[in-house]
Amino acid sequence: MDARNYTPIDETSLRYDGWRIVVVCFMLATFGWGFGFYGQSVYVAELQRLHGWPASLISAGTTFFYLSGAALVAFISEAIKAVGPRNCMIAGTCTMALAAISIGQVREPWQLYLANALLAFGWAGTSLGMITNTLGLWFDKKRGMAISLALNGASFGGIVGTPLLLAAIGHFGFSRGMTVSAVVMVVLMVPVVLLCVGRPPVLASSGAVDAADAPSPAQIRARAFRDIGFLSVSSAFALVLFAQVGFIVHLISFLDSVISRERAAIAVALLTAMAVVGRVLFSFVIDRMNQRLASSLSFVSQAFALLIIINVHNDYALIAACALFGFSVGNLITLPALIVQREFDPRSFGVLVSLITAINQITYAFGPGVVGLLRDLSGSYSLPFYGCIAVELTAAVLIMVRGRHTKKA
């Protein structure tokens, strides 16, 4: 559509349809992270309890899940362009539900890998790449705020999803609990998506983009890998998410040996609650802050929290350290998209966000497996968690390296 036919949109108005899409994406993130991210911690603990399999074997299944998903996430912007956000959301929701049921039926290790491969398709349709690309179709000026608000659903998935999933498993058993939870997701999400997600508007920036000689996705990706600014962002967040995911997936198993299962669930819930608090507080000031410096300080705070968790075994101190760790968890999935929006060509937003999400996922896919392997080799979680501290501090330095050719949108 020609930019001359563009009608101005007031994105600040509560009547704007885009805010309805934010609510849908919030719900999508709740289930996506509940089953695909925080759920992995539950799966590791439950499969260890039921089958006595080593942590490294189960964690390798989680790594396989993330690697499989990364190959799909990289192309989510093209999928949305081809079939629309509504169809992608429904496909992601239904696939994730089927995968959750499959995980509950796992009896042999090979079945876990098959279920995780299916879960990867659901993750691609319900996680960061899907949400940021979808909101980019409805928002321009308020894109950062919209993404921040919607991604609070990711934290909500940990606050509510993990305790409810554990409660369902405790009441129905692992297999039936997973099935009941999957059915609830489909019953709630599919009607909401069908009713609320329609055709996106034509934004001022999109009109200009269509009129210009916009580069192809392949060209955008090729240029990104030659840009120091992009490489520093993608590598820093990939490293820190490697440590963050590895720690969170093993958190319940670690706390089981130190505090009770009930207090472990409280610690996870508080960690994710603090992620919401941190993201909401940052949303008021992040547009005026040095986002790279904010990222670096977040990495350092997580390293400090891990140091406490390793060396202090008091119940309340552990829970408090989990809260400190969680304060930056939410921002670490929001900040990459905001940095891309601020520093790079707006025409490249969807492709670059999908690319950086895929790079991050390929890297942090190895986090759970490496942590599990080091835990099995050393006999405790001290060695792998100290390794996570070193990775976090390396990322804190790397994120401050800026490229000369990045351009503010």
Mean pLDDT of 51-71: 81
Q: Using pLDDT thresholds of 50, 70 and 90, give the confidence band for residue 2.
A: very low
Q: Among residues 261, 289, 364, which one has the least CA distance to residue 45?
A: 261
pLDDT at position 287? 67
> Averaging pLDDT over each range in 198-212, 254-268, 286-300, which range is the top one?
286-300
In percent, how much of the chain has pLDDT > 90?
A: 27
In percent, how much of the chain has pLDDT > 70?
A: 91
Sign of CA dihedral 265, 45, 249, 350: negative
Burial (CB count within 10 angstroms: exposed 0-12, middle 13-18, buried 19+), residue 32:
buried
pLDDT at position 221? 82
In contact, 182 and 100? CB cutoff 8 Å: yes
- Across 53-67, b (16+ Cβ under 10 Å) vs e yields bebbbbbbbbbbbbb
Enter the tokens of residue 27: 């719900």
Q: What is the pLDDT of residues 215-274, one digit of tens each?
A: 777 788 888 888 888 889 999 999 999 999 888 878 877 887 777 767 777 888 788 788
Q: Among residues 358, 376, 352, which one has the least CA distance to residue 253?
A: 376
HSE-up of residue 18 (Cα within 13 Å, Cβ side): 28
pLDDT at position 324? 93
Amino acid identity at 293: L
Does pLDDT of 147 surpass 90? no
CA distances from 108 to 41, 87, 97, 102, 192 (A): 19, 33, 20, 12, 36
In order of their start, the domains of the chain are 16-208+215-398 (1.20.1250.20)
Query: What does the alpha-carbon distance between residue 401 and residue 106 come to, in Å, rounded to a whole number?
Result: 45
pLDDT at position 376? 85
Mean pLDDT of 272-300: 83
134 versus 259: which is more confidently predicted?
134
Q: What is the pLDDT of residues 89-101, one digit of tens each?
A: 999 999 999 999 9
Enter the tokens of residue 360: 């991050």
Enter the tokens of residue 282: 């940052």
pLDDT at position 404? 60
Mean pLDDT of 75-87: 87
Enter the tokens of residue 68: 């499989």
pLDDT at position 131? 92
In contact, 250 and 381? CB cutoff 8 Å: yes
CB-based contacts of 269, cutoff 8 Å, min separation 6: 158, 159, 162, 163
Query: What does the alpha-carbon distance between residue 409 and residue 136 come to, in Å, rounded to a whole number?
Result: 14
Mean pLDDT of 294-307: 93
In contact, 203 and 349? CB cutoff 8 Å: no
195 versus 261: which is more confidently predicted?
195
Mean pLDDT of 181-186: 93
> Averaging pLDDT over each range in 75-79, 232-236, 314-318, which range is the top one?
232-236
pLDDT at position 259? 76
Name which of 11-20, 75-84, 291-300 the model is least confident about: 11-20
Q: What is the pLDDT of residues 354-402, one digit of tens each?
A: 888 888 888 887 888 788 889 888 888 889 999 999 999 999 999 998 8
Backbone angles phi, psi at 53, to 5 degrees: -70, 150
pLDDT at position 301? 94
Does pLDDT of 313 surpass 70? yes
Mean pLDDT score of the chain, rounded to an integer? 83
Query: What does the alpha-carbon distance between residue 345 and residue 283 come to, in Å, rounded to a whole number?
Result: 22
Burial (CB count within 10 angstroms: exposed 0-12, middle 13-18, buried 19+), residue 218:
exposed
Residue whose structure tokens are 């995980």: 103
Does pLDDT of 4 surpass 60? no
Query: What one-character-per-residue DSSP string does 49-108 give?
Result: HHH---HHHHHHHHHHHHHHHHHHHTTHHHHHHHH-HHHHHHHHHHHHHHHHHHHHT--S
Q: What is the pLDDT of residues 319-353, one digit of tens each?
A: 899 999 999 887 888 888 888 878 887 777 778 88
pLDDT at position 308? 92
pLDDT at position 49? 82
Helix, strand, coil % over all residues of the chain, rounded to 5: 80, 0, 20
Q: Among residues 326, 246, 323, which one has the least CA distance to residue 279?
A: 326
Q: Among residues 182, 211, 191, 238, which one has the least CA distance to residue 356?
A: 238
Name which of 78-82, 133-137, 282-286 the model is least confident about: 282-286
